[in-house]
Structures are given as structure tokens and as C-alpha cells.
Amino acid sequence: MNGGQRQRGQPPTEAFNRTLPGYPFGTAITNPAALLMAHQRQGPATPPPTHPGLDSRITAGLPQRAATNQNAQAGPSTRSAGTLDPANAAAAPGGGIGVHPATAQRAQPAAQERALPECPREQRYHEERDQLREECDQVREERDRVCAQLREIIEFSEQEVLRIRAVQATNTPALEPGPPPPAAPPPAAPPPARAASPPAAPGGPPADAQLAAQANTGAAGPAAAALPAGNPPGAPQPAAAVAGGAAIPQLLHRLGNQAAFHMVANQADIDRADAAKRDTRIDAKKVTLPELISGTKASSLNLPIPPRVEAAFKAYSYVPYTSLTTAARAKAQQGEEEVVMDARSGFKHKVLETAGEKNISKLEWQAAGRAAVQRWRVHYGNKRADALAAHHLVVEALALAHSWQLAMDYDVQQRTLAANMVEHDLTDLDLIALAMVQLKYMTISSHQQSAGPSRQYPSSPLKRPSPSGDAAHAPQAPPRKRTNRTYCFRCGGGGHLPGDYVASTTATGRIPATIVRSARSKHAMAAPGGLEYCFAFAQGACKQQDCNRGHSCSICGDTGHGAGSCKHAV
């Protein structure tokens, strides 16, 4: 056996087991004939690699291997004995000349793997790519079609504009409307090349003058050139011009005159618009006042309504008539409206006080009622204001028929109901409400009568009983006048303190003293000299030589006594 050959069952040599670079798929070559057969399948485009040492060994070993195969097999052999024919090698069932059967079996899966079709994922990728390309082609075709239509429309519009300008320049009468223009007219043929300007006629204007005249006519020159030759301005227009005349009014409306094509306005127009805008802004800040009436005088007693009372009128809330008196307005005018601290909103005004509203005098109630009717007329209209005025007449009638206190109870009750229920009508007398008020007063009167004068009993059983007989009829000393009366040092009335209630006048008819807002006490009052009234002097316990406060009566103004011992107090 040759040194280049091996027996059956022996492993291939190391030279045939290594992977050679440049071969398909980097296959480990174990048989030279299989290597040549693989290159033969690839075709002439891929020549086999050349390895001098390996090729010489392949050429030397092929005849010997062929002879060995012939001796080993019995019967006729299908293999060629002398040469390596690629056609015979491809047709041989053993995989080629001198190829071991086991080697041919190992080479068949590699060839089948190379012949497999594309995987489904790659095939789907190629299909989607082809579909996207088709869609892109369709979009491009649609875009080209739309652009072509737009170009046709623009060309048609330009032709119509030139035609309109030519008609305007030649002062031709308006054409009769014809059929509408086509939606997508065919593109117009390019205009013929302009001929060279003819030489100036002898005796005519020079060329520069002709150019200036053509520039002064504006667009009439190109428009006149676009008109068909041999058709003077006075001659009738051709059928094409008459057919296109229907679009003239529409295009004139859309395009307007030549100045409409300017995107920037004139600077003078811009300045005028800015000036008008500034004047409008200044006029908005001006206050519009009514005309001044000659001889009109305002009364010093007509003080404005306090802001919080006006806010209550706007909100259709209950407004006590004591907040509309002259004293309450004067207090608000001087900034004496009391405020309270709120944890959420900080300082805010107190709610309108209703204490003492039923004790208001008739004159003050009538003045407050007139003011309330006037505010109702402003905020709610004439109908509701007339209803409130009718309610005031009902209250005055009840005061004449029963008592002023009963009338005030009825008034407060009805106005409270109207504030809580918008639909409540104040025009007529409410018999049910009047019955309730009368029942209340009848109950109070019956309790007072049933109580009667209290019987005097000795405070202690150890005291002697009162004398009887003549001693009982003996004249007794008059009861001593109580000096610990409780009344207001500001107005002399009872039932309240100076800072809780403000009357229009004091018990002597004077204007009440003003509350000092900067003092620690809310009941501190200002004396005429700019000082504060001394409450110790009012109670008769002040040493004037050590006190720097005002020492006079805050009710009547007398300096001989304090407010605590004033005889004018209630």
C-alpha cells in the first residue's frame, strides 16, 4: 500500500482534517475528491483555491485509490479508473471517484443544508419590503398627479388674471358670463418668444420713452402681448375669451385690485392704527360722570351708605335698618367699622349687628326705609322696590292700630323671610305672621298680669311683723333712689355699652362721642379736647390732679359731674 493511502477504518491524516480557509462554510475537508466536487457544484464563477502541496498529493493519490477500489469490489465498477471526470464524479453513487462511502454520507447533509430554501422569517421580511416599495410607488404617483393638477390650475389662474388686466387696461365693457371654467384645464402652451423690438419710427418717441410708457401702464403690456394678434381692442372678443369671462367676477372678488397682493401695509396706515389703539386704551380708563346741574347742592347729612351694607344689598341679604341711620353712616365714614380676626382670611368686617333694631325710633326707621327702597330699586328693579315701599305702609298702619313694638316685630320678621326666600311677597299684610306676633305679645302680657305685685314677706322669722292699726297708716319715708344704675356712658340709654350700639343722639340731643380706635378698650371715647374720657371720673373715683384724661360728662357735656351721675340718663 502507498504511503499516501490508508486502509479502511483508519482515521484520516492530520492534513485532511484541518479546516482550510477560503472553502465554503469552512468545512473540514477529509477527502480531496469531495473538495473538488463541492467546487464543481458552485460553478465556474468560484474557482477552487490552489494549494501546491495539497494538489500534488491529490493528483498522486487519485489513481492508486481508484485501483484499490477496483480490487476491493467484486463485479463491474461504476467508477472511472484513470481520470477525475467531474461529470462522472457527480453521477457516481458513492459521491465521486475515490470517495469513501462514509465520507460521502457525511458530505450529503452539508450539501442539503446549502440547498435549503430561505427561512420563513427572512421570506416574510422580503415580502413586507416589496409591499412597502409598492406603496411608496403609489404615493409618489399620487403626489405627481396632484402636483400636475395644481400646476394646471395655477397656469389657468395666471391666464385669467392676464386676461382681466388686459380688459381693464383697454376699458372694454364687461363680458357676458359664460360657462364655468374646467376643473383641471390642460396646461397652456408656452408663449412664443418675444420678437425683437422694432426700431423707433422716424419722428416718434425714442426707445427710452417707449419703455417708460410701457412701465407706466403696469401689467397692461404683458397682457396686451398675450392677446391674440389681429384682434384690436374695439373688435369683438373671440369665443374663448367669452367662455372664460364667467370667472372674471369671481376672480376679481378673490384677488381684488393690485394693492391686495402687498403683504405689508403702508407705514402711515400702521401709525394711524397704533394711534387709534392708544386712544381707545386711554378712553377706557376715563371715568364717565353725569352732566353737572346748575344750582344742585348736596346735604351734609346725606352720608354714603357703608361699603359692607352696600355689599349686603347686592347679595340680597338681610340689612338691619340701624345700619342705615345717620350715626351708623358717620361711624363708617370715620373708619370706625369694627373688624375681627379670621384664621383663614385674616381681618374682615363684622356681620351687620341686629341688636337694638326693634328699639329704633320712628323717624330713624322711616329714613332708613327710604334709603332701603332706593337701593332695592337700583339692585333688584322697580317691582321689588315698590313691594318694599308697600310693606312700609303696612308697618306704619300696624303701629297706629296696635303699638310700635308690635309693628317693629312684624317688620323684622317679614324682611327676614324675604331675605331667606326670594319669592316672598312683601306687598300685602301677612295675616299669619301678624297673628303669631300678636300671640307672642298676648302671652307676655298674660304672664305679667298673672304674676301681679309681689307680696312682702319678712326675710327672717326672727324679725318682728309690721305694725298694725294706726301705726300701719303712719307716714313712711320715701324709698331711697338707687344710684347703681346701669346705662351707656355714650348716649345715656340702657341695655348696652358704648362700643356695642350707636344711637343717633344722646339723651340730651347731642351727637354721641366718637370711639377711639387706637385704645386698648373698645369702649374708650374721645373727649372734646382730643383726650379720652376718664371712666373713673364718670364713676366719681378719679383724682384729677394725677389724671391726664377728659373730666366731663360724656352724655350732657357738663364738667361738674361725670356720666355715672348724670340726671339725663335713662
**Are the beta carbons of 553 and 487 closer than 8 angstroms?**
no
C-alpha cell at position 500: 356695642
pLDDT score recorded for residue 395: 93
Backbone angles phi, psi at 342, to 5 degrees: -115, 135
Q: Report whether 323 contacts 337 (CB < 8 A).
A: no
Q: What is the pLDDT of residue 326?
A: 82
- Bridge partners (DSSP) listed for residue 559: none
Q: What is the pLDDT of residue 396?
A: 93
What three-state secondary structure class fits 271? Answer: helix
C-alpha cell at 51: 494549494
Say how far apart CA 393 and CA 426 lie, in whole Å.
Answer: 11
Contact by Cβ (8 Å): 246, 179: yes
Q: Which uninterrupted H or E stretch holds 246?
A: none
| The predicted structure's pLDDT at residue 524 | 84
> φ, ψ for residue 533 (rounded to 5)?
-65, 140
pLDDT of 487:
76
185 contacts 152 by C-beta, under 8 angstroms:
yes
Cell of 422: 326670594
For residue range 137-178, what is the model confidence (pLDDT) as tens digits?
A: 999 999 999 999 999 999 999 998 888 888 888 754 444 454
List pLDDT tens digits, range 517-564: 777 777 888 887 677 888 788 877 787 667 778 888 888 888 778 888
Give the total residue count for the chain. 570
CA-CA-CA-CA dihedral for 234, 237, 242, 246, to nearest 10? -30
- Supply angle C-alpha 443, 445, 449, rounded to 5: 120
SS percent in the chain: helix, strand, coil, step 5: 50, 5, 50
Angle ∠(87,89,90) on CA atoms, nearest 5? 65
By CB atoms closer than 10 A (0-12, 13-18, 19+), residue 523 is middle
Cell of 161: 388674471
- Cα(419)–Cα(319) distance, rounded to whole angstroms? 9
CB 498 within 8 Å of CB 449: no
pLDDT of residue 108: 59
pTM: 0.33
Predicted pLDDT of residue 566 = 84
Report how far residue 469's alpha carbon sits from residue 196's, in angstroms, rounded to the nearest whole number. 159
- The answer to whether the Cα torsion of 116, 117, 122, 124 is positive or negative is negative
The whole-number pLDDT of residue 14 equals 46
* Residues 163-180: b if buried by 16+ CB within 10 A, e if exposed: bbbbbbbeeeeebeebee
The answer to whether 537 and 562 have CB atoms below 8 angstroms apart is: yes
Q: Where are the alpha helices (DSSP H) in 256-345?
A: 267-285, 307-314, 326-333
Residues 6+ away with beta carbon under 8 Å from 402: 438
Distance CA 28, CA 8 (A): 19
- Greatest Cα pair distance, the chain, in angstroms, is 186
Q: Supply the pLDDT for residue 221.
A: 45
DSSP string, 497-541: -TTT---SS-TTSPPPPPB-TTSSSTT-BB-TTSSBB-HHHHTT-
- Four-point Cα dihedral 106, 112, 113, 119, nearest 10: -160
Indicate the residue type of 93: P
Distance from C-alpha of 167 to C-alpha of 395, rounded to nearest angstrom: 87
Q: Which residues of the chain have pLDDT under 70?
A: 1-118, 171-265, 282-286, 298-301, 335-351, 353-354, 444-485, 501-502, 529, 544-545, 570
